[in-house]
Chains A and B, each alone.
Chain A
Amino acid sequence: MTSAMLEVRNLKVAFPCPGGIIRAVEGIDLATKKGECVALVGESGCGKSVTALSIMRLLRTPPSVSRVDKLELAGRDLTHRTEREMERIRGKDMAMIFQDAMTALNPVMTVGKQIDEVYRRHTNLGKKEARERTVRALELVGVPEARSRADSFPHELSGGMRQRVLIALAFACIPKLIIADEPTTSLDVTIQAQVLDVLRTMQREHGVSALLITHDLSVVANMADTVYVMYSGKIVERAAMQDLFTDPLHPYTQGLLASVPRLSDDKQAFVQIPDTVPHPMRKPTGCYFHPRCSRTSGRCEEHMPRLEALENGRQVRCWHPLREERET
């Protein structure tokens, strides 16, 4: 696949701890095409954020130990770059939108200055030109009175505004890839809708590839083209967004979808997946999901299924995917 913007093959990340090794990411493959929005979904502790950070090469060793067979951005290898080279790539070719805008922004620097920095660093614009670009970037993401807002400090802005500033920051140099780690989780519903709208238009208009990391399936349904479902450090299902939501193959995906409260529901008990995510140090044998799965068999307890490729680029890691009975 030469058309891939981001290509990750067999990424493994582990954290050696006093009590054992935490295998946060256990060999995942990811690919995004140009202009595509790929979502990585999973519950907390499944390794989504670690994946994002290691793609950005932001994980330090120690504490982490990572290995990857291939990590390429637009055909350029990222694995052997020095920290200095990575600094030149981050912000220019790939950028990240963090979850918590309050901690991601520098509290003692005006937001304008923080965006100016991106331009000053990655382009040879002068101070004044950089500020002009900053104001334009802020206008693009819908910050009202952008010129005066650029001189405010992060704490003077509301949560939605801060998130917009982060988006402006990430899109400042129109990177090739944006990684958005839970971009709207801490926001109110109405603000979430606004921010997602901004994010989607920015991504589509500039043809930027995006890797969206979230636990919120409704965000996925409104943003993503392709979805990867992650469980305990492994990809369990990959599908186009429509296919995943209408026809999930992995029992975990099905359980996740069913447990989302919907407006169309009548009053009834919520569908739940029993038990909880296994502790990363004490993962079960065989398929990691088998203790919580309704379709489990002896085989599931002993062997981890492979990620099988199916039609339409779908992949599923399950001994008993939900399609079996339909075929027979």
Chain B
Amino acid sequence: MTASGDSRNPDRLLEMENVSVNFPVKRAYPFSRKRWIQAVTDVSLGISQGETFGIVGESGCGKSTLANAMIGMVRPTAGRVRFQGEDLYTLKPKAFKAARQNMQMIFQDPYSSLNPRFTVYDIIREPLYIRGGVSETTMKDKVLELLRLVGLDEEDLYRHPSDFSGGQRQRIGIARAIILNPRFLVCDESVSGLDVSVHAQIMNLLMEIQQDLNLTYVFISHNLAVVKNVCQNMLVMYLGKVMEAGDSDTVFANPLHPYTKALLSAILDVDVSETRERILLQGDTPSPIDPPDGCRFWQRCPFAMQGCETIPAELVEIEAGHQVACHLISGFTQEQMDRGLHQPVSPQSGD
């Protein structure tokens, strides 16, 4: 649970350096210009052993692609992913497979991520079975142990996913993810589809497992309240780029980027006594195909200035463990201001 600071830290379990992931768009005509979806652009991060790292953003902002790149499911177009100090994408197939055992994922939709024809036993033991070298009896013992850990009955062993509710299915998904004793677990919107009362149960289960097994989590969510409650470090993404990153307490206490502020104010809270000022963002997230050169958020930003459109906003460290990519905060250079770009405004006048 170290605060984020230096990006080249040997205790980092996972490091990403300037990772970009682009997907080609199918051409409309044979000789038309080739276009790219820039799903993730130039993201660097470091995750330490035992921490919970949050990734927030709207749908289509590249959260899931980033997570997939972390655990070796999508090869980045550029940049490096280092897991336990080794570059994941230059590993030989055998070593890659060994590294992959340490990183698992819990998917969003418990209805489509479990094979409906498999029994619970088949589903949970699958990773162990694929790794091989384990007898049927050990596998069964292990599966039973995990079933108890995630709060299911032994009787459930030979039932099918269709017999279970959403929350129970998610428990099966969790058991499957931890059977190989991974060190690193990605929860991609794992609780979003669940009912409120079940949501809390699964969150608590995940937190208990983390304590017991000393796991490192990456928690992807669009629910900022959840991220605030469980994550030590976080980053806010928009259209494939990091808008704001840092220690989650600092970011929530002092959100600087207009997008983070808007996200925070858009959350509907159940505290009826307290009324908060709302920043309503206009419009939808633009298409990630050939995004603007400048700040990706400028079209929807209520405080956009002239320079925002053309000059990319770099991620700048504002205070210890708090980085923001916004011209409002970092300002323009003298030369840029001479060209008639607006003076930067101080962060306080932003809200």
Contact = CB atoms under 8 A, between A and B. Distances in A.
Interface stretch (B9-17, B29-37, B277-285): B277-285
A190 B58 contact: yes
Interface in A212-269: 215-219, 221-222, 241-242, 245-246, 255-257, 259-269
A242 B272 contact: yes
B228 A263 contact: yes
Contacts, number: 128
B195, B201, B207, B228 — which one has the most chain A CB atoms within 10 A of its CB? B195
6 contacts: A192-B268, A222-B268, A245-B272, A260-B225, A262-B269, A274-B201
Interface stretch (A61-69, A105-113, A119-127, A193-201): A193-201
Contacts of B268: 192-193, 196, 216, 218-219, 221-222
A161 interface: yes
Interface in B33-73: 58-59
A272 interface: yes
B224 A217 contact: no
B182 interface: no
Nearest to A267: B229
Interface string A267-283: 11111111011000000
Interface in B256-311: 262-264, 266-274, 278, 280-281, 283-285
A97 B165 CA distance: 26
Contacts of A274: 201
A238 B52 CA distance: 39
Interface of A: 43-44, 144, 158, 160-161, 188-194, 196-197, 215-219, 221-222, 241-242, 245-246, 255-257, 259-274, 276-277
Interface string B215-257: 0000000111110111000000000000000000000100000
Given A221-B272, A246-B272, A263-B225, A194 B281 contact: yes
Interface residues of B, number: 43
B225 A43 contact: no
Contact of A261 (B166, B168, B207, B223): B223
A270 B284 contact: no
Contacts of A263: 224-225, 228, 252, 264, 267, 269
A189 B229 contact: no
Given A192-B268, A193-B268, A246-B273, A255 B263 contact: no
A44 B195 contact: yes
A265 B224 CA distance: 12
Interface string B306-341: 000000000000000000000000000000000000
B284 A261 contact: no
Contact of B272 (A189, A191, A241): A241
